[in-house]
Chains A and B, each alone.
Chain A
Amino acid sequence: MKVLMPSALHSYTADSKVEASGATLAAVLADLERLYPGIRFRMIDEQERIRPHIRFFVNGEQARDLSQPLRATDELIIVQALSGG
C-alpha cells in the first residue's frame, strides 16, 4: 500500500511516499522497519504504544490501534503532530 511519510522520517525513507505491505497497521510498521531499520522505534515505544506526537490515518480516518486491519488498496498517512517550538 501507499504510505505517506512525515518529513521527520525522511532521513530513513529519503522520500515522502513509500510502499509497504501488511494485513494490519502493526504488520505495515513491521514491514517499514524491515525496509528502513530503526524507523519503527521512533513512532512506537517499547510498550507498543503510539508515541505522543505520532498519528496514523487510514483513508483519512485516524487509526488508534496497531491491530487495525488494512487492505492493499488503503492509503496510510503518518503524521507528526505539531508540538513545541
Chain B
Amino acid sequence: MASINKNPVVKKPAMTARVLVMVATRKGAWFFHSDAARKTWRADGPHFLGHIINHLVLDPRDGKTLLAAAKTGHLGPTIFRSTNLGRTWKEATRPPAFAAATDGKTGRAVDHTFWLTPGHASEPNVWYAGTSPQGLFRSEDGGVSWVPFSSINEDAQYRKWMGSVQDGTPDGPKMHSIIVDPRDAAHLYFAMSGGGVHETVDGGRIFTPLLKGLSVVEGFDPANAAFHDPHCVRICPSNPDRLYQQNHCGIYRLDRPSDTWLRIGKKMPKRVGDIGFPMVVHPRDADTAWVFPMDGTSVWPRTSPDGKPAIYATRNAGKTWQRLAAGLPETQAWWTVKRQAMTADARDPVGLYFGTTSGELWMSHDEGNKWTCIAQHLPEIYGVEAAVLA
C-alpha cells in the first residue's frame, strides 16, 4: 500500500463556470457546451462521423488537451488528439500496439482503445490507455506516442487471467477503470472485464489482484481473477483511500488500507437489484455515489428494471440508497447505460450526466434530484465525460 498523505482538497469551481460534456458514440463524437446555469446546451458535432469512439477525455491538468480513442468498422485503431477543444485534430504517431510476437508465437493485436486516463498532476504529459483485448499502455508525450506499460501485457499469469477474446464482453475483453492515486503517481489501479481489479504501488513494476470480498458467478472460484468482472471502479477525489465499484455481481466499496471489498449493493431494493455498468462518485463528498441499475436476471437484459429507469444515490457510503427518477420516463423506457456513459461535473451542486445506448443524453443540475434531456437521436452512446472549463 502506498504511503498515505493528507487527503487532497478538491476546490469548487465558480458558480458560473461552463461545462463541456464529451459524448463518445458508435458513430462519432459530440461536444455539448453549457451556459453558466447549465440550462441550455450548444451541440458541436459530429466529429469523426462514422468512427467508433469509445472514450473522449479532456486533460484536467491543462484544460485543453483532448484525446479520442477511435477506430472504424474497417480500419485499425488509433488515437486522435486536439489542443483546441476539438477545432482541429491530429492523429497519434504511434497508437497503442502490443509487442510483435517472437519465436513463432501468435501475438495479440489491439482491436480498439477502450479507456483513457490522464496521469498524475506531477507528470503533466503522461496518459494511460486500456485496450481490447486487454492491454495497458502509457504515453509520456501527451498522447502522441504510446508504449506498453508494465510487464502485464505479456506476463504469463496475467495472460491467463485476461483469457481469450471469447472470455470478455460481447464487444471483446476490456481493460478499463485505470485510476491514478492523486497523492502518489506510482499508485495505480486498473480493472479488466474479465480479469478482476489490480493494483500497483511501485509505478507498475508489480501489479497484484485486489479481489477479496468480490462475488463471482455461482459455481466459479472467486480466488481466480479470470472469473471476476468489475464493470467500473472509481476513486473518491476527496478521499483517495475510498473506492467504489459496480461489478457484474453487485456494488462494492473499499476503504484502504483494507483489501476487502464490502458489498454495499445488498442495501438496494430487492426488486431493483445491484447490477449495472457505471459507477459515479462525488468530487468532494466520499460518502456520496451514484449508480444506474439494470436488469441482471434471467438472460441479463441489462435494461432499466421493469422499463422504469432511475439513478440510485447513496449519501452514507452505501448504508442506504435513494431512488432518483424525477423527469425520467415513468414507464416503457428500456435503457442501457454503458460503463463510461455516466459521469459528474465538479460544480456545486454537482451536475450528473448519462447517455443511453438509444442515443439520449440526460443531465441533472442538482445531484440527481431532477433530470432533463439534453439531446436525443444520437448514435449509441459509449462514453460521457464532463469537464468544468476555466
The residues of A with any CB-CB pair to B shorter than 8 Å are 6, 8-9, 37-38, 41-49, 51, 53-54, 80-81, 83-84
Contacts and interface: CB of A to CB of B under 8 A. Distances in A.
Contacts of B91: 37-38
B233 to A, nearest CB: 28
Contact of A46 (B75, B78, B100, B106): B100
B257 interface: no
Given A8-B72, A8-B75, A45-B109, 17 more contacts: A37-B91, A38-B78, A41-B78, A41-B97, A42-B76, A43-B75, A44-B76, A46-B100, A46-B107, A46-B110, A47-B98, A47-B107, A47-B108, A47-B109, A51-B76, A80-B74, A83-B73
A6 B75 CA distance: 11
Given A47-B100, A47-B101, A48-B100, A53 B74 contact: yes
B109 A46 contact: yes
B95 interface: yes
Contacts of A51: 74-76
B109 A80 contact: no
11 contacts: A37-B91, A42-B75, A42-B76, A43-B75, A45-B76, A45-B109, A45-B110, A46-B97, A46-B98, A47-B107, A49-B109
Nearest to B76: A42
Interface string B53-80: 0000000000000000000111110100
Interface in B89-124: 91-93, 95, 97-101, 106-110
A6 B73 CA distance: 13
Q: Which 5 A-B pairs have the closest CB atoms?
A: A45-B109, A46-B97, A80-B74, A42-B75, A84-B73
B158 to A, nearest CB: 18
A47 B104 CA distance: 11
A54 B109 contact: no
Q: Is the interface of A mostly helix, strand, loop or mixed?
A: loop
B357 to A, nearest CB: 15
A84 B91 CA distance: 24
A83 B74 CA distance: 7
A36 to B, nearest CB: 10
A81 B75 CA distance: 10
Contacts of B92: 38
A54 B93 contact: no
B93 A81 contact: no
A41 B76 contact: yes
B75 A80 contact: yes
Contacts of B106: 47
A8 B71 CA distance: 11
Contacts of A54: 74-75
Contacts of A45: 76, 97, 109-110
A49 B107 CA distance: 10
Contacts of A53: 73-75
A42 B78 contact: yes
A51 B110 CA distance: 11
A42 B92 CA distance: 12
A45 to B, nearest CB: 4
Contact of A81 (B74, B95, B101, B108): B74
A48 B97 CA distance: 12
Nearest to A42: B75
Given A37-B93, A48-B100, A43 B76 contact: yes
B95 A8 contact: no
Contacts of A41: 76, 78, 95, 97
A6 B74 contact: yes
Interface string B119-147: 00000000000000000000000000000
Nearest to B52: A84
A83 B97 CA distance: 23
A22 to B, nearest CB: 20
Nearest to B108: A47
A34 to B, nearest CB: 13
Nearest to A48: B100
Contacts of A84: 73
A44 B76 CA distance: 8
A49 to B, nearest CB: 7
B388 to A, nearest CB: 32
Contacts of B101: 47
